[in-house]
């Protein structure tokens, strides 16, 4: 047995000496250590041996198995290393070649404008709040002084879901009601709420069935229209520059009294009259007003103590004016080239 093992060992050594590739090495491995390999076969007829012999054969074949494994693994490592070195020597890297071009995205122009307004409002103590897009009729209309059957509802062609009480909000104003109810009529409020709104409009250059509004609400004591005017001056100048002026025109909203339409002086013609301002020198940018006492009361605020103002911007309209975009659908396509144009326009 001992001689047999010695002979296998010598044969293995000389075979391994001649091995130059991993493939050859693997063949040797199978031949010696595989299921029917020379070393495995050493223990194949153990059952015919005595206990003593079995012990001896077991020990010796273990020794040769360990030896074979070790030498084969060492050689495998060596061959792998040689292969790697060969590869590295053959490969040359031209470090002067340009690297992959990664197409960079650009911030969404609408999102950017909203963030700008958020940040100027936050600097005046406003919180940015969220509200649900799937809304109850109660918040979208009733608590805003627009009862069922009121003609003011017709102006906002609403998407109803399931029944007449659940809808896609047609304005961000329901967040006013939610916020006041949550505050339980006890503390002043300053919030803005940017968010998506929905109306059954046919999409064209100036209409979209889904668009974005930025709602604002301030509730406190002795709030007046001049507070609203001052606030608008700050917000709108931050968007359109310090040279613009703002003005109020009387208007009508069910949830404010008095209500106003807010205009800015045309930044394109400086008030002289051009196609952007339709030769009026002014551009309308928001609806606003003093919160109607009914709304305050229904939302838990005593109108004899509290007053407030509210406003609503159309975010796309602001962005269209600011960036000279003439089609609202531009915001909702995914053309990166267009997004980049706006980015460039802003840097100019
Ligand atoms: N919700 C109004 C709309 O969709 C915009 C608006 C006007 C909001 C006046 C207000 C407001 O908060 O006071 O047309």
Give domain limits for the chain.
2-90, 109-347
Q: What is the pLDDT of residue 103?
A: 77
Mutate which of 190, 261, 296, 311 for ligand 1? The one with the most ligand atoms within 8 Å of its CB, which is 311
Instruction: Quote the crossing angle between the two packed helices 225-240 and 109-123, to the nearest 10°.
Output: 140
Q: CB neighbours (10 Å) of residue 74?
A: 11
Q: What is the pLDDT of residues 75-120, one digit of tens each?
A: 999 999 999 999 998 988 888 988 888 877 777 889 999 999 999 9
Distance of CA 340 to the CA centre of its chain: 18
Q: What is the C-alpha R_g of the chain? A: 40
Alpha-helical (H) ranges within 124-157 are: 137-140
Distance, in Å, from the CA atom of 62 to the CA atom of 152, rounded to the nearest integer, reads 94
Which residue, by CA, sits nearest to atom 2 of ligand 1? 312
Does residue 261's CB lie within 6 angstroms of at least one atom of ligand 1?
no
Instruction: Quote the crossing angle between the two packed helices 2-18 and 22-33, to the nearest 10°.
Output: 170
Residue 39 has pLDDT above 70, yes or no: yes
Distance, in Å, from the CA atom of 302 to the CA atom of 304, rounded to the nearest integer, reads 5
* Cα-to-centroid distance, 323 and ligand 1 (Å): 23
Give the number of the atom of ligand 1 that is nearest the alpha carbon of residue 176: 12
Would you say 128 and 195 are in contact if contact means Cβ atoms under 8 Å apart? no
Q: What is the pLDDT of residue 154?
A: 79
Q: What is the pLDDT of residue 108?
A: 83
Which residue, by CA, sits nearest to atom 5 of ligand 1? 312
Does residue 141's CB lie within 6 angstroms of at least one atom of ligand 1?
no
Q: CB neighbours (10 Å) of residue 5?
A: 18
Q: What is the pLDDT of residues 297-343, one digit of tens each?
A: 999 999 999 999 999 999 999 999 999 998 999 888 777 677 677 76
Confidence bin at 345 (pLDDT 50/70/90): low
| Cα dihedral 318→321→327→329 (10° resolution) | -20
Residue 279 has pLDDT above 60, yes or no: yes
Which residue, by CA, sits nearest to atom 12 of ligand 1? 311
Residue 347 has pLDDT above 70, yes or no: no
* Cα-to-centroid distance, 218 and ligand 1 (Å): 14
Q: What is the pLDDT of residue 334?
A: 73
- Whole-model pTM: value is 0.71
Would you say 341 and 326 are in contact if contact means Cβ atoms under 8 Å apart? no
End-to-end CA distance of the chain, in Å?
91
Does residue 314's CB lie within 6 angstroms of at least one atom of ligand 1?
no
Q: Which CATH class is domain 109-347?
A: alpha beta
């Amino acid at each position: 047995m001992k001689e047999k093992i010695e002979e296998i060992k010598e044969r293995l050594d000389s075979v391994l000496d001649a091995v130059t590739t991993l493939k050859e090495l693997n063949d040797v491995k199978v031949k010696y250590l595989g299921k029917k390999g020379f070393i495995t076969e050493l223990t194949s007829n153990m059952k015919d041996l005595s206990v003593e012999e079995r012990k001896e054969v077991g020990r010796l074949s273990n020794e040769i198995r360990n030896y074979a494994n070790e030498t084969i693994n060492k050689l495998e490592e060596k061959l792998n290393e040689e292969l790697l070195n060969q590869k590295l020597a053959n490969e040359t890297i031209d470090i002067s070649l340009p690297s992959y071009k990664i197409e960079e995205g650009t911030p969404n122009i609408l999102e950017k404008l909203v963030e700008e307004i958020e940040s100027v409002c936050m600097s005046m103590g406003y919180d940015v709040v969220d509200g649900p897009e799937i809304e109850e009729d109660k918040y979208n209309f009733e608590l805003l002084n627009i009862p069922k059957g009121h003609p003011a509802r017709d102006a906002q062609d609403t998407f109803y879901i399931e029944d007449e009480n659940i809808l896609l909000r047609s304005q961000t104003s329901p967040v006013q009601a939610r916020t006041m109810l949550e505050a339980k009529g006890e503390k002043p409020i300053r919030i803005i709420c940017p968010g998506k709104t929905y109306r059954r409009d046919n999409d064209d250059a100036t209409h979209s069935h889904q668009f974005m509004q930025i709602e604002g609400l301030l509730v406190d004591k002795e709030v007046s229209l001049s507070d609203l005017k001052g606030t608008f001056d700050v917000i709108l100048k931050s968007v359109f520059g310090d040279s613009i002026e703002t003005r109020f025109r009387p208007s009508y909203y069910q949830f404010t009294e008095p209500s106003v339409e807010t205009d800015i002086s045309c930044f394109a013609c400086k008030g002289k009259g051009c196609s952007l301002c339709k030769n009026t020198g002014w551009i309308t940018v928001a609806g606003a007003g003093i919160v109607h006492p009914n709304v305050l009361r229904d939302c838990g605020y005593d109108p004899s103590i509290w007053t407030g103002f509210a406003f609503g911007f159309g975010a796309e309209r602001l962005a269209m004016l600011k960036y000279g975009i003439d089609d609202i659908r531009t915001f909702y396509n995914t053309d990166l080239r267009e997004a980049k144009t706006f980015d460039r326009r802003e840097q100019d």
